[in-house]
Structure 1
Amino acid sequence: MTTKTALVTGASSGIGEATALKLISLGYTVYGAARRTDRLQSLAERGLRPLAMDVTDDDSLRGGVDRVISETGRIDVLVNNAGYGSYGALEDVSQEEARRQFDVNVFGAVRLTQLALPHMRSRRSGTVVNITSMGGKIYTPLGGWYHATKFALEALSDCLRVELKPFGIDVVVIEPGGIATEWGAIAADRLEQSSATGPYSDQAAAVATSLRSETMSKRLSPPTVIADTIARAVTARRPKTRYATGFGARPLIGLRRLLPDRAYDTLISRSAGLPR
């Protein structure tokens, strides 16, 4: 049997790293993409094929897909994991930063998918895995642009799933909850850059403290929880369309469905420690 090939973006740490290692353990040929390949060298020693890729650069995306196809002739699994959290009050966040958040979290994932799909269609098989977030179903204070990207990727995934069904290609959405990665610290840093001073400073201080909370960090799920979920999805004969997993994901998504808007506003504001 020909070895299947997987391409995982954002593979240098966190969910991407854990996913790459999991798929290697399952026998896949795995290309791990990141802007800095020096951070992939330890993974290369464990079987990963490092791939330099900037998801905001079309030439970089084309070159990455071309290399995978030239070396293996196929892409069976694409895991769109690259992304970050840009927090800050909507009034404060620059349009430049807002566009970059969409470029990385949405347009990069969609463009890479566009480049991979012809190769999947030619084989009439494949799985596109889009890593959204429980943040694609809920909202948190000062996270407007981040949540907008995740809501957008959820909608795009739904449309894509229907479009690709006739070609035998699955589209799976993974909705992580709180995961022990660098994400929280990066989001807190971005938040302070945008809103540490001015009218939203009190809210920014509270949310940044929450994002960096040691108490909260102890509750977070390890990235392997998401990697294991992705592995189940890509090896299933008929995968689910969505997998919500990791700390808080199912309860918070469930509460968002059940609670009226203003009741959820109160709940999420209190959990973030916002001043009242």
Structure 2
Amino acid sequence: MAESLGARSGASPEEVFSILQKAKQLFISNLEPGAPTVSREYIPTSFKSLDSSMHGGIPLGQITEVFGASGCGKSQFLLSLAVRALVAGTRNESSCVYISTEATLESRRLDDFSSKVPGALDRVSYVYCPDLENQDHILFTQLRLKLEEGIKSGRPVRMVIVDSVSHHMRAEDTFPNTLQFFRSHLAWQEDQLLGVPTYRQEKVKFDAVTSQHMKGDVRFRNRTLKKYYLFTLYSHLAELALSYNVAVVLANQVSDVMDAYRYW
């Protein structure tokens, strides 16, 4: 698009891209009257090609997903991002929250990454969530308190990492007993998000699409409800990212690859 507009206007692609970015910021800020304007900041990943593709690195105020097959190095990359988040801002005045759901933190590996950053380990808050109940408590209750604590202590959190966000959702028996537990779980989460305008809008769209399919088989209903849970969680994390101007990085694992020629 930038090249096409540049050819018509006589401006360079860089100038056109800059104008489009400013217009996008103004448009988004006008969608929610009174919403605070968040300056566009990035945390470099130290990979030049990746930073170039992402216009500077991991954006603050937004959610970034890191996904790939098991064993491809996602966790190692996330550990390096945790350290980069500490040095991207003013020295010794930023922190990172690392939430793990699959395994305990590789502290030795993190120590290797941060060997040249004095006091780095003291500024990384680590939480292990062995099950969905713990994960919910941390993400929906404790995380906001941690972000507030960072601001008050003079060490604001610049990045929140969740490795991985859907680990406890993969098993068919993720939720105990019947779907009633899941439904009450979602109802509680919805109450926490009713004040977020974007959540209301997206929920209406989601309900319109899924309501006609909820009378299908049990497995389909289970999958649909799990997707709804992830949608609710995403809305919550997006609100935190924007409100506290923090980069939220979510890891996800690719478990299957669709055959385009078979299904389309």
Q: TM-score range by the shorter chain?
A: 0.3 to 0.5
Q: Which has the higher contact order (CA 8 A, sep 6+)?
A: 2
Rg larger in structure: 2
Q: How does the TM-score come out when normalised to structure 2? A: 0.33
